[in-house]
Amino acid sequence: MKKVSIIGQGYVGLTISAFAAEFYEVLGIDNNQDVVNQLNTGVSHIEGVQSSVLKNWIKSGKFRATNDATEIDGSDIVVIAVPTPLTKDRQPDLTYIAAACKTIGVNLKNPALIINESTSFPGTIRNYIKPAIESFSTGTIQHLYAISPERVDPGRGDFNQKNTPRLYAGLTPEASAKTRDFYSKFCDHLVAVSSPEVAEAAKLFENTFRQVNIALVNEFAQITNALGISVHETLNAASTKPYGFMKFTPSAGVGGHCIPVDPSYLAAAADQCGVPATFIRRANEVNLEMSKYVVDRVEADNGGSLKGKSVLVVGVAYKPNVADVRETAAELVIEHLKARGAVVAWHDDVVGFWHEEKSSVLGGADIAIVTTKHDAVDAKAIMASASYVFDTTGKLPQAHGL
Ligand SMILES: NC(=O)c1ccc[n+]([C@@H]2O[C@H](COP(=O)([O-])OP(=O)(O)OC[C@H]3O[C@@H](n4cnc5c(N)ncnc54)[C@H](O)[C@@H]3O)[C@@H](O)[C@H]2O)c1
């Protein structure tokens, strides 16, 4: 049976591991010892990967996690699934990819297929990953290289690895064919594109499309409010058009590891070729500014000052029904509230602990601002949690809000 090593056992890497283990011997490599220990006891830390599934693969010897990079040797296929964040000045940060390349280059002594699933700018597999791995390899090992961008949407029930079409392209026809063979075991719709750069750019454009449309609807929410009409009623009205319109909803901003980050990878690529990515950058600004707009609205509704008022931020995960707080808009909302002298607490029992604080009880505040509404949180309990409730999610029609 082929050995597949997956570097990074987070949202993407563990999801692939869980699907691939049905057909391959999977080694999950992660440099976080806590993650490794937890996975080896069969406990999943990712929504969408059931612990029972993990336990099953461990029991049958199909899955194991390790932080020992030398164990990668002997792999037939290596998948890179490590973070690709931004630096402080919002430039692509490939340090995790560089570390994964070192792991491969130093420890993998046999030729293998290397697939990148981490999101990055066009040219990453050709001009960055391949040379980086080769710079660490001794001898003349000829690996095959391919890209297959991940489209997993954690917490989503209707689309998963099996039924979500997957793009792929190798640096050579052999790499493309072997990549197709690998994924075809657990993915029904494989879409070949003519070069890795097309696949890399398509992934960035998918998320930039969302970023820009969310910014547009966030700006529209401000316009409708100024006009004195409901943004949600107006969007529902527009949605009756059966073609040429796709509904996006306003929010306190965008979060997660993808939408706030990936467009900046595209903007950086545009910079490299001398194209000003003004539209992408402005969308990012509009979304980042939404947290201030929300706090401005709440302040205006509450006598023009938030000083000394107790404010409960309800839902700090970046989206409903997941515990992921990366880049969450709630963070910026809290910063603005604190800067205006509010006494801020947060409630989110799905997240539980955040910034070394436990989720506060839902209730007893002067003001509640709903940034994310999990299905499990009772709408009536939110409405009763404060004398003034501002909803940014559109799910609490009785509240003030966007
Ligand atoms: N989360 C999503 O929904 C999603 C969707 C599509 C694409 N992506 C992309 O996939 C990539 C991974 O994202 P994620 O959400 O899975 O990240 P994550 O933070 O959930 O997981 C990454 C894991 O990699 C480990 N890691 C980091 N450096 C390592 C190294 N050198 N060696 C071994 N392990 C290492 C970390 O400990 C962590 O457990 C990113 O490029 C992201 O943009 C994410």
CB of 81 within 6 A of ligand 1: the answer is yes
pTM given for the model: 0.93
Predicted confidence (pLDDT) per residue in 189-210, tens digit: 999 999 999 999 999 999 999 9
Residue from 121, 136, 150, 153 to probe ligand 1 pocket by mutation (most atoms less than 8 Å from CB): 150
Ligand 1: centre distance to CA 280 (Å): 24
pLDDT at 115 over 90: yes
Instruction: Say if CB 99 and CB 84 are below 8 A apart.
Output: no
Query: What proportion of the chain, given as a percentage, has pLDDT over 90?
Result: 95
Ligand 1, atom 25: nearest CA belongs to which residue? Answer: 8
DSSP assignment string, 121-185: -TTIIIIIIHHHHHHH--S----EEEE------TT-SS--TTTS-EEEEESSHHHHHHHHHHHHT
| Atom of ligand 1 at shortest range from CA of 120 | 41
pLDDT at 53 over 90: yes
**Closest by CA position to 75, among listed 126, 115, 129:** 115
Ligand 1, atom 39: nearest CA belongs to which residue? Answer: 10
Mean pLDDT on 42-48? 91
What local confidence, expressed as pLDDT, does residue 284 receive?
Answer: 94
Residue from 117, 257, 258 to probe ligand 1 pocket by mutation (most atoms less than 8 Å from CB): 257
CB of 83 within 6 A of ligand 1: the answer is yes
Mean pLDDT on 100-110? 97
What local confidence, expressed as pLDDT, does residue 138 receive?
Answer: 78
CA 58 to chain centre: 27
CB of 164 within 6 A of ligand 1: the answer is no
CB of 31 within 6 A of ligand 1: the answer is yes
Q: What is the mean pLDDT of the chain?
A: 96
Mean pLDDT on 59-71? 97
Predicted confidence (pLDDT) per residue in 215-247, tens digit: 999 999 999 999 999 999 999 999 999 999 999
More confident residue, 334 or 89: 334
| Atom of ligand 1 at shortest range from CA of 96 | 28
Residue 250 to residue 296: CA distance in whole angstroms = 16
Number of other residues whose CB lies within 10 A of the CB of residue 27: 21
CB of 346 within 6 A of ligand 1: the answer is no
Ligand 1: centre distance to CA 14 (Å): 9
User: Tokens for 132?
Assistant: 């980086």
Q: Does the active-site annotation cover 273?
A: no
Predicted confidence (pLDDT) per residue in 343-385, tens digit: 999 999 999 999 999 999 999 999 999 999 999 999 999 999 9
What local confidence, expressed as pLDDT, does residue 155 receive?
Answer: 74
Ligand 1: centre distance to CA 131 (Å): 21
3-state DSSP of 32-83: CHHHHHHHHCCCCCCCCCCHHHHHHHHHCCCEEEECCHHHHCCCCEEEECCC
**Closest by CA position to 265, among listed 147, 166, 123:** 123
Mean pLDDT on 291-318? 98
Min mean pLDDT across 62-76, 103-117, 139-153, 308-322 is at 139-153
